Chains A and B, each alone.
Chain A
Amino acid sequence: MAALCPPPSPAVAKTLVSMAGPSPVLAATFAYWDNILGPRVRHIWAPKTDEVVLGDGEITFLANHTLNGEILRNAESGAIDVKFFVLAEKRVIIVSLIFDGKWNGDRSTYGLSIILPQCELGFYLPLHRLCVSRLTHSIRKGRVWMHKVKNNGTERNGQSIIPMLTGEVIPIMELLSSMKSHGVPEDIDIASTVLNDDDIGDSCHEGFLSNAISSHLQTCGCSVVVGSSAEKINKMVRTLCLFLSPAERKCSRMCRSESSFKYESGLFIQGLLKDSSGNFDLPLRQVMYAPYPTTHIDVDVNTVKQMPPCHEHIYNQRRYMRSELATLWRATSVEDMAGDSAKHTDESFLPDLLHMFQDIHHRDTFVKSFLEQVFQLKPNLSIRSTFLAQFLLVLHRKALILIKYIEDDTQKGKKTFKSLRSLKTDLDLTVEGDLNIILALAEKIKPGLHSFMFGRPYHISVQERDILMTF
């Protein structure tokens, strides 16, 4: 038992992480509630820098602070609660995920936290949802891990959870670092986008641009732009960003010209550079874990592919997550658990993943008309920006009406929504692509709308298809 005890504070185990660029993260910590000693820090991850902004003692103090009051924790089973601190006296912000888990047979409360300087509040807030989503899944896996290592008797020196968490925390630190250096600014000059061209076909083919923007809007503004030219990629990234809100832009990333970034799940738009052989890495598991479906845009060959709509995406995502966790649960050794969990997932589910990017099935009139019209206006003037603002206002208003319409029709979700046909007619959304765009915008405004409208019927239809495949 003594061997399982963590080292006493302040000599907390620490991993220094070498970062390629400037790191906005001061440290990440993993702490737990000791029934005798109270909050204790188990591990610290900190970027390797010349200048030490926060000492280990301060990090430990702050990490302990995140668990203050958690003795009163009264959470639902399996809940992962988020706490967010802005401590002006310490000039730090902390995002902390608190969860219950079983370790060594004892049930206790744990906290996985990231500490940033307070001056990064504006930088961090647009990325909060992304970070929480990523950390939440890490914790889901970590809980299974913690439970299994004891039962399997494979934990050594109480540290076996740390490598697993290291593998999850470091990518988040790298992501934040990359966002610091290559994040899209909040304000985008239309002059640096395709929409400033003299004519519609100047930078890229008209149909390609229309498809790209349309699909981008249909997939809730979530897109990956790939190509061989960083300049070309970034121009497309900036163009697509015009159709996002300022906060969403700050959750998007430009392409790095020297070498490609890794794909990061949860960003709205990201530019990725192909390698010299024209290939790039798109990890399907991470694409699947993005909160919204993704549009894949290749500026080299002018192709646009998109994932299924939100309700299908969410269904597949959850199905895959459950599969991954179940595989982890079934693993019999640490080596099995430490391996790439994707390969352990339900084999029958993989073929779906391989075909998750498909051609655009539904054309729209909104984007097509907009592009035809906006190029009628003179470039290099503010009138195109004004016209774009009008276009976005129309889309957002339609999305809000759609929400209100469904709200009225279902008595705020108390009844099933059955009048899609009437909705299309009444709101002038009879063109399928138009409906998809408005639904996607509505999904961002009212999360879960797709699943509410289509979730169950979709699930049933998938089951029917699966059954038929077996005949």
Chain B
Amino acid sequence: MIGSPDVVAFTREEVYEEPLQGSPGLPEEYSVPLFPFQEADSSPWSRPPGAKFSKDFILISEFSEQVGPQPLLTIPDDPRVCGAFDLNYFSLRIMSVDYQASFVGHPPGSSYPKLNFVEDSKVVLGDSKEGAFAYVHHLTLYDLEARGFVRPFCMAYISADEDKIMQLFLELSGDFSKASDCLKTGNRKAFANELEKKLKDLEYTRSVLLAHLEEQRKTDGKGFYTTQAIDKANELANVEKSIIEHQDLLKQIQQYPYRKLKPEDDFQPFLPESPCDCTVTGEPERAAPSSDTEENPADEEASEYHPRASYTPKFIKAKSAKCFDKKMKTLKELVDVYFFVQTIDLLTRLERRYRGDVSYLLMRHLDQTLLEQQAISNFLFEDASTWNTKAFDRRYEEKLDASQSLHDSKYLEEEQDPVKPSASLESYKSSVESVPIKIEQDLFEENGHTEVLIQGDQVEVAEYLDVDIKGSISSGDSIEVLRTERSASMLSHSESQPCLRLHPSPQQLRRKHSGRRTISEDSIEVLSMCPSETIIPEDFRASYQIAINEEEPCVDEECEELTSGPDAAGRSETSVNELLIDPACCIRGDDSSPVQQNVDLSPDISVGDTIVSVPPQPCRLPDRNFQVKVCVDNAESPSMETACHRLSVTEPESVHLLSSREAKRMSSEEHLDSLSHKSSASTCSDRTPSPPPISSLSERHKRKAGQNALMFIRQYPFSHPAIYSLLSGRTLVVLGEEEAFVKRLVTALSIFVPNCGHSAKPIKPWATSPLNIVDFQKWKLIGLQRDASPPGSPITQSLSRYRRYASVLDADNKTLCCPVYKGSLLQRMADHRTQIRKGSTYYMHVQSMLTQLSSKAFLLTFCHHAQLRIHPDDVEESVCQRRAAFLHQLLGLSQDDRKIVEYLSELLKTHYVTEAGTQLLPALRFNYIPSILYKI
């Protein structure tokens, strides 16, 4: 390939241009563009030229029998989202491909109308000229006044990225099916209520007509029938026929064939428990929980559609209104308000979940999948929220399955028995199916995670509740929306005809409700409610507490399992030395689950492998001059402090310690990075930021940490030794007078701190009391307040006492006292000349480099050549030499880089032999190495 610009002068214009001109005669519409990005501004990030909307949105449309296809509502309900996009036209387009195989009406051979429960159809289509592509979910709702009793609707996810729709087809299909099921369940309930009301009206009408006839018969004793009497008789006959028809319809809707749904469609808002239950429960159809309806204003509106006990039947006139005279019900009226709110909440979450660039969405999924495959090592540097939830849930589900198999369906009931408030909630029933609904806290998905945090740390709860605000948590297997205050207010604001408007407030999603459906062998529907603490009625608060209490036995059970090994009792006091066996020998080929791996640790399990019989070897750094190991039992979990730290990053940060120029630059770069976040995650299809896997708070934290880290490595020439301290397990104390500035540095350095287990990072962002030795065991990065008092103050004294065993970064004087670093790993990880300009990008870069480090540590940990005696006459020194050669030759690591990998390897071993989830702190180890004072 010749690329020298010199030769361009010799090119012949006509030949040079030929391939761009296309083939002679072939119309361009039949040809293929030579370049993927033909237009000047087109790029992999650009949107289709015709796209008139700014980001993806959800559209609900109806094929009205009166006015044809019409848009009803969009999510989000912001006119700027749709822009100039013609919703009417697109509704017409998407509704025109509807597939309606249903037959409703009088089928041949049947004298009564027959409801056909049609399965939803799903269509992906697009309009290339408008730059709009859509996943369209068609569904049918029932309406007593509609033609054939059916109203066709569709929910469409509209995007400018065609590939996004197809690549996420299965996920979209699953999630919209849940929304559809929810909507249809609410519709069946409302339809049944409507039928019951109608039946009461008809009964009343019949009784009135009968009375009239009787009266006429009495008054007209001659036996002649007047015309009026004949009309009344005909009318009565029609009413009686109508009664039979409506009774038949009611019977049909109550016998909805739930089993028609495929097994994989695991979400069914309500399932009939059993036919006998309907009779046993006695209460025919009043479904809403009494406490809830009394307290929640939303039910005032809901009650409009519920047949009240005090419902006054109306007389039905013989001639009903003409088709076009009558006012069709709105979508909100067609669906029970409770389910309507659930559906809208679910769709709102879906919109947020699928927002952003498809490449980031897919990569996030791939990331999670790969992280799940490396449960042994992913705790080191990964954000626990991205994978821990799933892993925890999976473990929990396994345990739950096991316990459920033991206790059968009575398990949950027994668990709930001791707590009185749950009993009242169990009486909640669906009016359609007369199904008792149990209230139960969600045990799966993110809620399980939340509950654990609730137990451990209320601050974490606050954060994770905020997590839910962002709406980026997948709904998983269950719909997790229940009635909320916001929902009620939203509905009160929505118009009645014809288009619904939603006005979600920022607080709306804070009210996270979690619902879980449990299907016992009797197909009992269990739906839980967990409104936020701000609006939880007393009974719901109780159920919330129940959920927390329910969690405990399982956690305890897990702990029991974890401590059931032969050396379990003393495990927490076991020093690292005692734990250092070759984990490679303990891994079974068929299973890598932590619990089972733990079982493998028992000394008598050799499985015929001679290496396994080798006793555990100590892992000592050959060059250590001094080493102290102290074990502290029952140490406090670091999660609290770290939670504080996490929250602290959102605080306004001071830049006044920097020069005005620096501060200005920092501010502009932050702004740039903020913009970057908004734009980077957006795509050709969407300009909005991609939501993070768990929360945008977390994403914001990452961005901020990356930005601060980038500043740190640029402004501090001694960034490498500081990072080296952290990566090699030496505690770094950031000393400073101003809290905000110290916290800023702590945030910057936090991304380099390895985790010690399945808990938050060992970081104390701000300490104001003198440090003691336990702090050095718990924390690897400490922000310490500098005393204004003279050097004899307790804080300064405590620091000077441990100074030789810890690195100290003086934020005020911009000095660093720590060991020298002479490696090459950090040159690439923290290069002050880097052209990376944005914090989020730098964070990703560091994360990638740290993943490489984890991989090296994993290799060292599980490579038996580097850990164990190969020959019986091997002495420990030869193993150390072999390990050094392994690190140097195979991994290409220098002396200092080796220390990093060896430290990480030790963490891996410790974590491996203890169990995931246990809060065992690492052994306290001081490694005395001469320090050097760095100054700017």
Contacts and interface: CB of A to CB of B under 8 A. Distances in A.
B617 interface: no
Interface string A185-219: 00000000000000000000000000000000000
A89 B36 contact: no
Interface string A29-41: 0000000000000
Contacts of A144: 26, 30
For chain A, what secondary structure do more than half of its interface residues adopt (helix, strand, loop), or is it mixed? helix
A396 to B, nearest CB: 6
Contact of A390 (B35, B45, B855): B855
Contacts of B36: 314, 448, 451-452, 455
B29 A77 contact: yes
Given A128-B166, A373-B859, A464-B11, A394 B45 contact: no
B170 A83 contact: no
Contacts of A85: 97, 99, 121-124
Contact of A84 (B169, B840, B845): B169
Interface in B826-852: 828, 831, 834-838, 840-841, 844-845, 847-849, 851-852
A284 interface: no
A325 B32 contact: yes
Given A89-B118, A413-B44, A143 B30 contact: yes
Interface stretch (B518-526, B585-593, B624-632): B585-593
A396 B366 contact: yes
A444 B92 CA distance: 35
A451 B37 contact: yes
B575 interface: no
A465 B3 CA distance: 8
B894 interface: no
A326 B24 contact: yes
Interface in A434-471: 445-449, 451-452, 455-468, 470-471
Interface string A293-310: 000000000000000000
B588 A381 contact: yes
A326 B863 contact: no
B112 interface: no
Contacts of B173: 86
Interface in B22-39: 22-26, 28-37
B96 A68 contact: yes
Interface in A359-389: 372-373, 376-378, 380-383, 385-387, 389
B363 interface: yes
Interface stretch (A169-177, A333-341, A398-406): A398-406
A386 B121 contact: no
Interface in A136-152: 140, 143-144, 147
Contact of B128 (A81, A456, A463): A81
B32 A321 contact: yes
B80 interface: no
Nearest to B10: A467
A157 B588 CA distance: 69
Interface residues of A, number: 106
B589 A387 contact: no
A263 B66 CA distance: 55
Given A83-B123, A321-B32, A394-B851, A386 B45 contact: no
A390 B834 contact: no
Given A85-B99, A86-B173, A319-B19, A383 B680 contact: no
B34 A426 contact: no
A78 B12 CA distance: 32
Contacts of B124: 82-85
B34 A319 contact: yes
Interface string A76-106: 1111011111111110000000000000000
Nearest to A89: B101
A383 B587 contact: yes
A396 B890 contact: no
Contacts of B121: 85-89
B395 interface: no
A231 interface: no
Given A75-B128, A398-B848, A426-B836, A326 B34 contact: no
A387 B855 contact: yes
A125 B124 CA distance: 13
B129 interface: yes
A427 B374 contact: no
B370 A446 contact: no
A330 interface: yes
A87 B102 CA distance: 12
A322 B32 contact: yes
B844 A326 contact: no
B359 A467 contact: no
A410 B37 CA distance: 15
Interface residues of B, number: 114
Interface string B790-810: 000000000000000000000
A120 to B, nearest CB: 13
B1 to A, nearest CB: 5
A276 interface: no
B123 A403 contact: no
B15 A72 contact: no
Given A318-B33, A378-B864, A390-B377, A396 B363 contact: yes
B845 A408 contact: no
A380 B592 CA distance: 12
A74 interface: yes
Given A323-B23, A393-B374, A455-B37, A83 B128 contact: no
- Which of B4, B15, B32, B363 has the most chain A CB atoms closer than 10 A to its own CB? B32
Given A383-B584, A451-B36, A426 B25 contact: no
Contacts of B591: 382
A455 B35 CA distance: 7
Nearest to B829: A428
Interface in B567-592: 584, 587-592
A243 to B, nearest CB: 12
Contact of A322 (B31, B834, B845, B865): B31
B244 interface: no
A74 B127 contact: yes
A245 interface: yes
Contacts of A382: 587-592
A401 B841 contact: yes
Given A85-B122, A88-B119, A448-B44, A386 B374 contact: yes
B130 interface: yes
B129 A75 contact: yes
Contacts of B41: 413-414
A357 interface: no
Contact of B16 (A318, A414, A428, A463): A463
Contacts of A90: 99, 101
A156 interface: no
B280 interface: no
A88 B99 CA distance: 10
A232 interface: no
Nearest to B3: A461
B23 A74 contact: no
Given A315-B34, A413-B42, 11 more contacts: A72-B93, A78-B29, A372-B890, A386-B592, A391-B855, A392-B370, A393-B370, A410-B43, A411-B679, A413-B43, A466-B15
- 6 nearest A-B pairs in the assembled complex, by CB-CB distance: A413-B43, A326-B23, A69-B96, A78-B29, A88-B119, A389-B373
20 contacts: A72-B89, A78-B31, A81-B126, A82-B126, A83-B123, A86-B122, A122-B170, A125-B169, A140-B32, A245-B366, A326-B24, A382-B587, A394-B855, A413-B44, A422-B835, A426-B835, A445-B362, A455-B35, A465-B2, A467-B10
Interface of B: 1-4, 7-8, 10-12, 15-16, 19, 22-26, 28-37, 41-46, 50, 89, 92-93, 96-99, 101-102, 118-130, 162-163, 166, 169-170, 173, 359-360, 362-363, 366-367, 369-371, 373-374, 376-377, 584, 587-592, 676, 679-680, 682, 828, 831, 834-838, 840-841, 844-845, 847-849, 851-852, 854-855, 858-859, 862-866, 886, 890-891
